[in-house]
Structures are given as C-alpha cells and as structure tokens.
C-alpha cells in the first residue's frame, strides 16, 4: 500500500508518495506532478525530484511538469495557479484494462467527450447520504 503525503499548510511543497512495502527509500520518494502548461489532458504522475522541485536527471517527465502548487481547498485537491486562483482540472479516461483509469490534468480546460471531470478528495463519500423522496 502506498500513501501520498502533503504539507497541509503549504502549496510550495511537493506531495510525496510513500510505500508501506519499502519500494523506495525515504529520500527517493517520488513526488506527484501535474503538467502546468496550456496543453490539455496531460497525465498526472510521479517523479523523483532534484534540488528545487524539478525532475532529477534519471526521471523522464513531460515538459512543464511541476510538483509544487498542489494544495487542499477544504477536503478537495486543488492547484494554485500563478494568479493565486484555485484550479480543479482533474479528469479520468478509460484505459484498455477494465476498472483502471488514466488520471489527467486539463490545464487548457477544453472539452473531450471521453474524459470525465473528477474531484480528488481526502475524505470518502458518505454511504447512504442521498435521500430518496416519494411524490
């Protein structure tokens, strides 16, 4: 099992993934990245980073990938843009494997009928929270 850890008070710290099975040492933990360019539907991923939140020399990542700017807006994952606005542009698309999806970031905010907007949250939805009304 792996977890992603974040500094709740900062949008300038990377979010690191940690494994309960020791797949990597603490100083090699990969950081979550999004591609913060004007492109649409870039994959979200993990990369090992060097000194100041840039990809280390042994990691291949897309141009424009950043590990900083992610933060919590209440219980929702958001990205703080250079203008200070909170953005929630996560989408999912099917893969060729049943039940497995691509997690994408749509910085361009363009429409694609195969992509579903999603919300990444730190809390699970409440079971049975929807109410049925009889008319």
Average pLDDT, the chain: 78
Would residue 32 count as lying in a domain?
yes
d(CA 107, CA 88): 9
H/E stretch holding 92: strand 90-94
- Which of 121, 101, 40, 31 is CA-nearest to residue 69? 31
Domain that holds residue 98: 2-117
Would residue 91 count as lying in a domain?
yes
d(CA 89, CA 82): 15
Is residue 18 packed enough to be buried (19+ CB in 10 Å), middle (13-18) or exposed (0-12)?
middle
**Cβ atoms of 32 and 67 closer than 8 Å:** yes
pLDDT in tens, 32-77: 899 988 888 999 988 876 544 444 444 567 888 888 899 989 989 9
Confidence label for 82 from pLDDT (cuts 50, 70 and 90): confident
The number of domains in the chain is: 1
Would residue 135 count as lying in a domain?
no
Would residue 6 count as lying in a domain?
yes
- Looking at residue 52, its pLDDT comes to 46
Would residue 132 count as lying in a domain?
no
- Looking at residue 64, its pLDDT comes to 86
Would residue 64 count as lying in a domain?
yes
Would residue 124 count as lying in a domain?
no
Would residue 17 count as lying in a domain?
yes
Report pTM.
0.74
Top pLDDT among 127 and 66 is at 66
């Amino acid at each position: 099992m792996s977890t992603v850890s974040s500094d709740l008070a900062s949008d300038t710290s990377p979010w690191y993934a940690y494994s309960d099975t020791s797949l990597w040492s603490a100083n090699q933990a990969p950081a979550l990245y999004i591609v913060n360019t004007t492109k649409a539907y870039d994959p979200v991923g993990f990369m090992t980073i060097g000194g100041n939140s840039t990809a280390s020399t042994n990691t291949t990542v897309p141009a424009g990938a950043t590990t900083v700017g992610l933060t919590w807006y209440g219980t929702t994952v958001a990205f703080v843009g250079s203008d200070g606005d909170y953005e929630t542009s996560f989408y999912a698309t099917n893969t060729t494997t049943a039940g497995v999806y691509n997690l994408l970031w749509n910085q361009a905010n363009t429409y694609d009928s195969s992509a579903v907007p999603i919300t990444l949250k730190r809390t699970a939805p409440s079971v049975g929270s929807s109410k049925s009304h009889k008319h």
